[in-house]
Amino acid sequence: MEGVLEKSLAEEKFEKLLLQEQQDLENQARLLSNSYQGAHVLLSKGNDDDQFNVYGLLQNRDLLVSLEPSLSDQFDILQYFYDNNLLDVDQVLIAVNNIRSHKTMLRCVNEANKTVRELNSVQKKIKASKSMSDSEKASRVLRSKLSDEEKVDVLRAMAYRSCAHSKEEKVDVTEDVVSSDLISTLRNSYAQVIEGVTPYLSKYYSKVAGLPPEMIRYYESAIRIYEELKKEGREEELSGKLNYDDMRLSLSVWHAIDLRGKIDEMLKGSVQSVEQFQQVQNYLSSLSSSFETIKSLDDSFSQEKGVSGERQVYFLLDNDGKPFFDVSKFSDGEKRKVSSLLKKLHDEGNSDKDMKSHPILVPKKLPHHMYTLRSSDFLVSYIPYNGDVLVLTFGDRRNIYEDSTKISERASSLIDRTIKSMKSQSPAFVMAQSSFSEGLDSAVSLGVGGLVK
């Protein structure tokens, strides 16, 4: 452990990574900010003399062209007619339309709300990365692309500094006894890893609570086989037949809890021999690796769920805006269950359960994988998509399977279109859904609770 007070190569590498990460975030924030400003310009109205707001578009030419460079020609056309005071010719309208209807510009406008949320989130990350506490820094070290040896190197150096060691000391790892300094460093490293991993263990504890060892054995075998298939580029063969990420998360959480118990047990006693010390180090290294897996899967799940983290409940509506169920035929009890199921669907978004953990409803040969959620003997069938859900129908256990299968078969293209609209968030779709939700809310509320939109 030489030179821990001077920056090692690993530390310098880590700092460079942090700097690069900050720059990437700043670039991302700039892009999002441009996109949001672009949406604002595109939505701005002109005055009577300039009803297409050509002046506004030209004023923001650089901004809009930075979002879509291919529109430069259209701005040249606008500039020419604007300079010659000929704003009422057809070419102006065509150029304005070409700009406003370009897919990049449409995306800016349609996703303006999402963009501003993402921008807030990125700005928070930038702020956090500039004022990191030691424990946050340690978590970053563990999540970084450094090799395991480099991570341990950086963590050790941090642990030493946090203990205010003012001079370099040679660590004694004699053949039989480990120095108390080294044990103290190990305890500090462990405390930092625990601080990082504990929130995730609490978050995902329900995934492994009471999971029998036999299941763990199967998870391990299935994951091993999946990874072998992946090496051969054949993982698609298990697509839809094995939830790899979910199993990997459960397994990592299970291992992390197990390792935490083992390390706690060993650190309770006196770790003195080199053998014991190395054992704890190995456990700690495995715990760090489990933590990394959990963190990276959590990140990818959060991204799937969207930055808002709020689950939206949409309904499958036919071309006349009618659902595939008839609320008026439901009894008061069933209406209460509809209300409760919708609340459950919505609330699942704020809990940590994966919507796909619910039973799959129908055989996977159907075009869409459907799932069910139940409130006593009454069920809702739905399709999860990108963290949100599309509700198909409600019914009791005798008819929900048949009804949902029929809907999936007969309204397959309508489901595809609705999922596309959930993605694009077109104003017409959002309005239709919102209006339907309100109607359903009043139909099932019965003065008890209500539908969560």
Partner 1 sequence: MIDDKLKQLFIDIKLDCLELILAKDVSISDLSYQLGISNKDFYNRMKSTEQDFSFYLKMYYILLKWR
Q: Is position 83 an interface residue for partner 1 (rule: CB under 8 A)?
A: no
Contact call for residue 210 and partner 1 (CB under 8 A) = yes
* Whole-number Å distance between alpha carbons of 96 and 118: 28
Task: Tell me which stretch binds partner 1 (CB under 8 A): 25-33, 148-156, 211-219, 418-426.
Answer: 211-219
- Provide the 10 A C-beta neighbour count for residue 123: 16
Q: Is 327 in the site for partner 1 (CB under 8 A)?
A: no
- How many beta carbons lie within 10 A of that of residue 50, not counting itself? 15
Exactly one of 2, 310, 326, 402 binds partner 1 (CB under 8 A); that residue is 402
Structural tokens at position 302: 């959060």
DSSP 312: P
How many residues touch partner 1 under the rule CB under 8 A: the total is: 32
How many angstroms separate the CA atoms of 340 and 346, rounded? 10
Q: What whole-number distance in Å separates Cα of residue 309 and Cα of residue 385? A: 13
Among 20, 51, 221, 278, contact with partner 1 (rule: CB under 8 A): 221
Rounded Cα distance between 437 and 338, Å, is 12
- Please report whether residue 409 would count as binding partner 1 according to CB under 8 A: no
What is the distance between the terminal CA atoms of the chain, rounded to a whole angstrom? 58
Give yes or no for a contact between 36 and 119, defined as CB atoms under 8 angstroms apart. Answer: yes
- Report, in angstroms and rounded to the nearest whole number, the Rg of the chain calculated over CA atoms: 28
Q: Does 299 bind partner 1 (CB under 8 A)?
A: no
With CB under 8 A as the contact rule, the residue among 16, 127, 161, 364 that binds partner 1 is: 364
Which residue carries 């441009």 as its tokens? 34
What is the C-alpha to C-alpha distance for residues 297 and 290, in angstroms, rounded to an integer? 11
Among 139, 288, 372, 393, binds partner 1 (CB under 8 A): 372
Candidate residues 355, 361, 380, 383; the one interacting with partner 1 per rule CB under 8 A: 361
Q: Which two tokens stand for residue 391?
A: 């509700």
Q: Please, which residue, 168 or 228, has the CB nearer to partner 1?
A: 228
Q: Is 438 in the site for partner 1 (CB under 8 A)?
A: no
Q: Is 396 in the site for partner 1 (CB under 8 A)?
A: no
Q: Fill in the per-residue mask, 16 to 45: x = in contact with partner 1 (CB under 8 A), - = not in contact.
A: ------------------------------
| Of positions 222, 263, 392, 419, contacts partner 1 by CB under 8 A | 222
Q: How many CB atoms lie within 10 A of CB 298?
A: 16
Question: Using the rule CB under 8 A, is 371 a contact of partner 1?
Answer: yes
Question: Which residues between 247 and 286 bind partner 1 (CB under 8 A)?
Answer: 247
Dihedral angle, C-alpha 413, 418, 419, 425, nearest 10 °: 150
The reply on whether position 212 binds partner 1 by CB under 8 A is yes
Binding site for partner 1 (CB under 8 A): 210-212, 214-215, 218-219, 221-222, 225, 228-229, 232, 234, 238, 240-243, 247, 358-364, 371-372, 397, 401-402
